[in-house]
Structure 1
Amino acid sequence: MISGMGPALVKIDAPPPAFRFVRPCAVAETQWRAKNNYVIQTHPNEGAVSMRDDLSASNSDLLQMTLQAAVQDQRTVDEQRRSTAPLLDGMSFHESIRHDDDRGSVTEIYDPRWGWHPDPLVFSYVFTIRSGMVKGWGLHKRHEDRYFVLSGELELVLYDPRPESSTCGKICKVYLSGSRPRLVNVPKFVWHADRNIGTSDVVVVNFPTIQYDHSNPDKYRLPIDTDLIPYSFGNAKGW
């Protein structure tokens, strides 16, 4: 013990078994403060009340300062708990249902009788993207893509350059995964890139609105780091 005026200083290497630290705002009779390896003990008759008053005022100022700098979250779903994030002109979803029982599961992928998309079902294929990789940017002049994710997690980023579109110049991001089965379409003349944001390969079924023409592919590309599209994939790799 070091005696003298003011708080008592006790040198400790570790708190004894019966020793207990109490948060300053919960102190009733004794305040404990720790600095380096010393514990400072302030008794009530040495100004503890005024210290509590100062602490309360300081905490009140801190609360107001942080609240003034904060930004409140905005609404993201409607009354039916559907996302309110805007899609580009011509885009839409069709939600599928996965049926599970003790044997496994069944999920319907595409049925023209749903009336979801006006174009017929004429062609389909499966593609994969490795974790962290990007496929894009790509654009089609004569057909639309229609994606369905079987497994994994996909971030679909779209950029609308169509001059007649109400969403011209806008970026749209859509998230698809095997845990939430649904279809989404990519309109003609919209740049799009597919990014795997999961930890395993993402597996995607595409139902394009025309059959693939090997002699004249309806596919136009830009590099993922192009300055012509106002979006960055950071250090992600792909083409």
Structure 2
Amino acid sequence: MSTSEMTLQDVGIAGALLQPLKVISTEGGPVLHMLRSGSPLLPDFSKGFGEIYFSEVLPGHVKAWKRHTLQTQHFAVPVGQLKIVLFDDRPGSETRGTVRELVLGRPENYGLLRIPVNVWYGFAAMGDAPALICNCADIPHDPTEGLKLPVNDHSIPYKWSEGGV
């Protein structure tokens, strides 16, 4: 594994990390890494495998706000670009009250983002094309363990602009 793939970037929320991912150019189109053995962001599968799913985000739409109480998220954006916003309101967290924006996706910002439990997140497609997000979760989706808030809920100090970005 290359050094750039092992480099973790702190995104300013305790426990949230970004790992740049490798894109291998080939004649017929690129090969995109997401997760492999030895990755510092490899989920803890000692509880068993969770799930991998894809979600398409249409231009002008915001998917927010959500947090999980048990599930850790591992996001990669192989198609398009997303603005992802994180908010930490966890009691006792050293980054409590912090909001962070980041861009994830190709071509410049392809990476794997780990979002720890109890951190609020939302995202919106950037540009005029849909974006595709892939999530490798450490436990299967359970609608009873996730919490949701409306997109412009006043308890989160962030205002999504018109069109999401």
Q: Which has the higher contact order (CA 8 A, sep 6+)?
A: 2
- Is 1:232 the equivalent of 2:121? no
Please say if residues 68 and 119 of structure 2, whose CA atoms lie closer than 8 Å, have aligned partners that are also in contact.
yes
Kindly provide the amino acid, as one letter, of the partner of residue 171 in structure 1.
V
Rounded to whole Å, the distance in 2 between the matches of 1:86 and 1:123 is 24
The aligned residue for residue 3 of structure 2 is none
**Which residue among 57, 70, 89 is the counterpart of 1:142?**
70
Q: Residue 107 of structure 1: CA displacement?
A: 1.7
Deviation at 1:112, TM superposition (A): 3.1
SS of structure 1 residue aligned to 2:55: strand
Alignment of 1:50-61 (within 5 A): none
Q: CA deviation at 1:177?
A: 1.1
> Residues 105-124 of structure 1 correspond to what in structure 2 (within 5 A)?
105-120=30-45, 121-124=49-52
Separation in structure 2 between the aligned mates of residue 112 and residue 198 of structure 1, nearest angstrom: 33
Quickly say closer, same or farther: Cα 1:220–1:208, change in 2 above 3 A: same
TM-score, normalised by the number of residues in structure 2: 0.84
Matched with 2:125 is 196
Amino acid corresponding to residue 38 of structure 2 in structure 1: R
Question: Which letter maps to 1:100?
Answer: S
**Alignment equivalent of 2:110, drawn from 163, 168, 181:** 181
Write the deviation string for residues 24-74 of structure 1: whole angstroms up to 9, x where unpaired. xxxxxxxxxxxxxxxxxxxxxxxxxxxxxxxxxxxxxxxxxxxxxxxxxxx
Q: In the TM superposition, what is the alpha-carbon distance from 1:183 to its structure 2 partner?
A: 0.3
Amino acid at match of 1:154: L
* Residue number in structure 1 paired with 2:4: none
Structure 1: distance between partners of 2:148 and 2:28: 43
Q: Give the distance between the partners of 1:207 and 1:85, measured in 2 at CA.
A: 19
Runs of 5+ consecutive residues of structure 2 not aligned to the other structure: 1-6
Q: Which amino acid aligns with 1:126?
A: F
- 8 Å CA contact 2:69–2:145 kept in 1: the answer is yes
Aligned runs of 1:73-88 on 2, under 5 Å?
86-88=11-13
Task: Name the structure where strand makes up a greater proportion of residues.
Answer: 2
- CA deviations on 1:113-165 (whole Å, 9 max, x unpaired) are 22323522531001011001100111110111110101111011011001211
Count of aligned pairs: 154
Superposition RMSD in Å: 2.1
Q: Secondary structure at the match of 1:136?
A: strand
